[in-house]
Amino acid sequence: MARDPVCGMYVDEEHAAFKIEQGGKVYYFCSEGCMLTFQQPEVERKKLRNLAIFSLSLGLWLMIIMFLPEPSLFSHHYWGLILATPVQFIAGYRYYRGAWGALKARTANMDTLIVIGTTTAWGYSTFVVLFPNYAPSMDIYFDASAMILGLILIGKYLEEVARGRASDAVRKLLDLQPPTAHLIKEDGSEETVGVETVMPMDILRVKPGEKIALDGIIIDGASSVDESMITGESIPVSKKVGDEVIGGTINKEGSFKMEVTKIGMNTTLQQIVQMVEEAQLSKAPIQRLADTVAAYFTPAVLIIATVSFLGWYYIGKSSFGFAFTSFISIVIVACPCAMGIATPTAILVGAGIGAQNGILIKNGEVLEKARSLEAVAFDKTGTLTKGEIVVTDLVTNEPEILITEVASLEKLSEHPIASAIVNYVDNRGIRLFEAEKFESLAGRGVKGIVNGKSYVIGTSRLMSEMKIDITPVQKDADLLYDQGKTLAFVALENKIVAIIAVADQLKDSAPEAVKKLIDMGLRVVMITGDNKRTAAAIAKQANIEEYISEVLPEDKVKEIKKLKENGLNVAMVGDGINDAPALVEADVGIALGSGTDVALETGGIVLIRNNLMDVPTAIELSKRTYRKIIQNLFWAFFYNTALIPVAAGALIPWGIQMNPIFAAGAMAISSFTVVTNSLLLRRWRPKG
């Protein structure tokens, strides 16, 4: 038995809060997500199955011998003791350990109820056999204690089988990575090696039809790669020298050489697996409510059972056996095991379904928040648009040397517009100069000196701040703005000399995604650093009516805060470093898989496929999963509360008293119902 360092609970593998299968093993976790131990899932299932068969076989035989003639060697009572005792302490051992651990932690759980119920039945029956003269009743319950344990173990076995199916998503992801790779040695020869021996900067050859072993960059050759198992994109992607390839994807046609860039847990595939596992292990806020109820539920059940026993025996003047049966039935039927798995099983399935559809949900809290969103804020560049900015217009009376000097300064900047300007010059084979005194002005532009000339390049806002008059080019700027283009104004020695216009294409999925979000009743907002005219043009193309323009990176957080101050639950969708603070500030941060590592780390949901249609899909999935959680909790509470009055004798006026064996069956069915209901979520498919 292990003591959980976080919550201080004594928990062993038999009584962990939940379990996850991965790589042929099953990992056991406490309620706070601490891993305790692991073992092969097949071993666990066989153990449960064998113990259930053992218990039910002896339990049925105990029921049968009661109708047989009295044996000559021992009486029926002694045979009951002989057969029931192994069941009680072999099959029931796991529950005694769990109850003892809970007792050490000064709490009570479902094992407490199972142990009290079965031990009371077995213990009283043993007392009747050994001390018949002192027993208030000659009734024995050996068959009940054995059958109760058998039925509970059957329920646990079916639950484990169902849990295994819920872990299919992780298993399928892990199966994508091939076990070997073709390593090219320094002498040029090839050797097939285990993928675990490959190191960064090693060179691998990938042949047609093979799975790519690890993440890397193509250094020789070209091909088309099927990335559907990672990104969900069904069309193979063309790859050439310099392009990145992902481990686990399939090389369709050509042969190529690649340099390994990521291994082990740093690969895209392993990071996806890790995100899915973390989500499956996480706890949704609603689980805290269930935990709180369960903490008070067990003591309350014991009080109800005791009151029922005393009421029937002393007030109702019923027989001891009748009152005792009521006590055992209440304790067993109220066992809250279904309550404990209601939330984890739904999250387990929901996170797996998300992974299969290219949506990585990092934890249960994000899953629960996403279902109650009221507004979605989009970044523009690289999120709503493709992020492939190109120079479309150059308005200037200066010679070609000007654009060369501008590019020489912009090459020191990491902004997408700067990259577009540099690429514009590179494509013409022009050699750049060295820049001096370079300074980046976040969200506004750059300034510096090239060939002894002082340049300021940036937005109209920057020109205004620097008191540079743009009136001479205002007419040209207005025309370009109306076309939805982004402008970089160029000032030489504090005089405006040029306009460089760049444009970025809207993603094909943007208008449809926005329409679907609006149809779902969500408020959609675009937040961009572009000027108002460009923002208006892009927003119109994307069917977005509300947009906020000329926002500096640090001010995106303020805009998210404003939306939240209006009482809205807000999601932020972005892909860049400058989006990271807003992703954190939002109730739910949604990062595109093509974005920066910072954005991916801060986003609560990651869209691997970069398809904006996955935004409404993620929200829809969270709603479906939360609905399953509510349904599971309902069924758990329904079984536990609806059957307690029956067990206490509410149907006695009609001659019906619940047998403890049927109480155990109802408890097993409640757990199985919850897990099966969660598995029904696997049938869900995103619309469209």
Contact 100, 92 (CB under 8 A): no
Tokens for 205, please give them. Answer: 């050859």
> Residue 215 catalytic?
no
SS3 content of the chain, % helix, strand, coil (to 5): 55, 20, 30
Q: How many whole angstroms separate alpha carbon 332 and alpha carbon 305?
A: 10
Q: Using alpha carbons only, what angle is made at residue 318 by residues 312 and 321, rounded to the nearest 5 degrees?
A: 95
Query: Within 13 A of 216's CA, how many CA atoms are on the CB side?
Result: 28
Of 111, 202, 215, 379, the active-site residue reads 379
Question: What own/partner pairs with CB < 8 Å and gap ≥ 24 does 414-421 have?
Answer: 415/446, 416/381, 416/382, 416/387, 416/389, 416/504, 417/389, 417/486, 417/488, 417/502, 418/446, 419/389, 420/389, 420/390, 420/391, 420/502, 421/391, 421/488, 421/500, 421/502
Contact 90, 118 (CB under 8 A): no
- DSSP letter, residue 231: H
- Cα–Cα distances in angstroms (integers) from residue 242 to residues 256, 257, 437, in the given order: 11, 11, 32
Phi-psi region of 667 (alpha: psi -120 to 50; beta: other; left: phi over 0): alpha
Per-residue b/e over 183-212, b at no fewer than 16 CB within 10 Å? Answer: bbeeeeeeeebebeebeeebbbbbeeebbb
User: Contact, 360 vs 603, CB < 8 A?
Assistant: no
Known catalytic residues are 379
